[in-house]
Chains A and B, each alone.
Chain A
Amino acid sequence: MYNLNWFSQIGLQHYLLLSSALFICGMAGVLLRKNAIVILMSIELMLNAVNISFVAFSHYQSKLEGQIMVFFVMTIAAAEAAVGLAIMVSIFKRFREVNIRFFERLKG
């Protein structure tokens, strides 16, 4: 079904596959990693993966809305990272701990 042509003709599908793969990577990080900061980074990874598919759709359908969306996603991602890290820093300064399981104890 797939021949060499599949490797030399890059289309939307390739980008979407790559995007999904990166997304799964990021999700694995979120689900499995112990370090809360790495989890934040994995979220960034997922957002990046999504951005790829946005831009790919925008390119292959000749609509710029996808790029606008990426613009917004980047802003949100940066905002999330900024606040997330600020929280992380204040927790770390207090408890010297970034393990996500530790955060279970921060209730009430």
Chain B
Amino acid sequence: MISDAILFWILAFLSLSAGLTVVMIANPIYSALALVMTMVSVAGLFVTLGAYFLAGVQLIVYAGAVMVLFVMVLMLFDLKNEVYAFTQGLLTNVVKLGCLGLLAGLLAGTLVLSSYQSQEIQDKVVAAADQTKALGQLLFTQYLFGFEVLGILLLIVAIGAVALSRSRGGTHHV
């Protein structure tokens, strides 16, 4: 389907360029906004993969909640005047970049040479319309324990966040 391919390439372009912007741009506010863009594009990618509900959740959780928090925090910090975006140190940076390059090469090489390229969709067990239902049924039967544990994790996060916001921060002075 040529239209699917076009959509994929558009979204891939959007997400990648936004992702690069997150890393490259000096102003963290723009980083955050680019990340929002990435998140939205990733939601689009989820849609192309038929994961409609997850796309919605991606929008609600990431774009609508987590990134709002990031943007809020950054706006309050007001760190516009950041001269160097990256850490200094030639040697370590070379090491880091080399590492990244190697990893990228390894991943790309593996994927390109792998057999995934011609893989067709296996028999569709779940029709797209019933996917959310199936997702729910799976989540509440097989993965119920994880689900409940996540509930407790979120409780701990809430308590931890409150505790952290109360803390006066450290004992020594700068």
Contacts and interface: CB of A to CB of B under 8 A. Distances in A.
Interface residues of B, number: 87
Interface in B124-163: 124-126, 131, 134-135, 138-139, 143, 146, 150, 153-154, 157, 160-161
A50 B120 CA distance: 21
A68 B135 contact: yes
B12 to A, nearest CB: 5
A34 B24 CA distance: 11
Query: Interface on chain A toward B: helix, strand, loop, or mixed SS?
Result: helix
Given A13-B117, A16-B116, A45 B45 contact: no
Nearest to B138: A64
Contacts of A56: 49
Interface residues of A, number: 78
A88 B73 contact: yes
A42 B21 CA distance: 11
Contacts of B82: 34-35
A4 to B, nearest CB: 10
26 contacts: A7-B9, A11-B118, A11-B120, A12-B119, A13-B112, A13-B114, A25-B19, A33-B23, A34-B82, A35-B82, A35-B85, A40-B70, A41-B22, A44-B66, A49-B19, A60-B122, A62-B122, A62-B124, A64-B138, A68-B139, A71-B57, A72-B150, A74-B57, A85-B73, A86-B165, A89-B165
Given A34-B86, A74-B61, 4 more contacts: A22-B38, A72-B143, A78-B61, A95-B174
Interface of A: 6-18, 20-29, 31-35, 37-38, 40-42, 44-45, 48-49, 51-52, 55-56, 58-65, 67-68, 70-72, 74-79, 81-83, 85-95, 98, 100-101, 106
